[in-house]
Amino acid sequence: MMDNESKRRVDVTVQKRLRSILKQRFVSPTDAMLSPCSKRLNLYRSKVYAAKKTPRKLQFSESATKTPSKKHQS
């Protein structure tokens, strides 16, 4: 018998494979009706989003993590 974790991995890989197959087969009836400008915009968007697959990490300045200075106290 397979344990839950290995079964989950198999299920995920099967789901990914099915999604890729369905994406290749699905054709919308309006795909041919796009204007040349819309096609270029869609191509640009897909390139931009493909380049940004990994999320950005926020960079906080070191001054925000330091304790406040005691210059203003009298």
Query: 0.85 exceeded by the pTM?
Result: no
Structural contact between residues 18 and 10, judged by C-beta atoms closer than 8 angstroms:
no
Distance from C-alpha of 35 to C-alpha of 49, rounded to nearest angstrom: 21
What pLDDT digit, counting tens, does each position of 1-57 carry? Answer: 556 776 677 788 888 888 777 766 666 777 677 788 888 988 898 888 777 677 677
> Quick one: pLDDT at residue 73?
57
What's the rounded Cα separation, in Å, for the pair 55 and 53? 6
CA 22-40-44 angle, to 5 degrees, is 75
Distance CA 19, CA 15 (A): 6
The predicted pLDDT at position 25 comes to 66
Distance CA 12, CA 21 (A): 14
